[in-house]
Amino acid sequence: MDVDQRSLSAEAESEVLKVIAEFAATWNRHDMDAMHDLCTDDAEWINIVGMHWRGKAAVYKGHDALHKTTFADTEMTIEDVKARAIAPGVVCAVAGMTFGAHVDPTGREEVGMETMGTYLLLDTGDSWKIVHFHNTVIDQAARPFDPVNSDSAIG
């Protein structure tokens, strides 16, 4: 793949950031229809507990259940989005996310967490859509032991 084909245009970056901001907005108002309009039909989702949902209908079903229970009163933020081009029409963005207090389905009370999310987006012609998402909780105990970024994590 020619390196030139992998440069991220300002226009593409702007579009991708808009989609991710809209994802946060729709998540926070629990608008499942609008939230999943941002996804391709074949979107896949891997959440912080390792559940893997395949296809928009499955992703919708999973989110709909969690937003009626676990996340019904939770606030989510997305910040520090770092986007890069993977190929023409394909962008991979990594972002820090926060999830406010909630009780998870097993009954565990979470006071809140930071996560690291990967958004893979595709230019469908009409718009950019999320084709894959993967999220992981940032383990605060492990953070100071990061062999690469330990300074910034401790600081």
Please give the residues from 134 up to 153 whose contact with a second copy meets the rule CB under 8 A: 134-139, 141-143, 145-149
Residue reference for tokens 């019904």:
72
Nearer Cβ to a second copy (64/75): 64
Q: Which of 15, 22, 61, 98 binds a second copy (CB under 8 A)?
A: 61
Which of these, 116, 112, 113, lies nearest to 96 by C-alpha position? 116
Q: Which of 76, 94, 98, 100 binds a second copy (CB under 8 A)?
A: 94
Q: Which of 76, 81, 92, 100 binds a second copy (CB under 8 A)?
A: 92
Confirm or reject binding of residue 120 to a second copy (CB under 8 A): yes
Q: Which of 34, 75, 77, 89 binds a second copy (CB under 8 A)?
A: 89
Interface ranges with a second copy (CB under 8 A): 1, 42, 44, 46-54, 58, 61-62, 64-66, 82, 84, 86-90, 92, 94, 104-106, 108, 114-116, 118, 120, 122-125, 131-132, 134-139, 141-143, 145-149
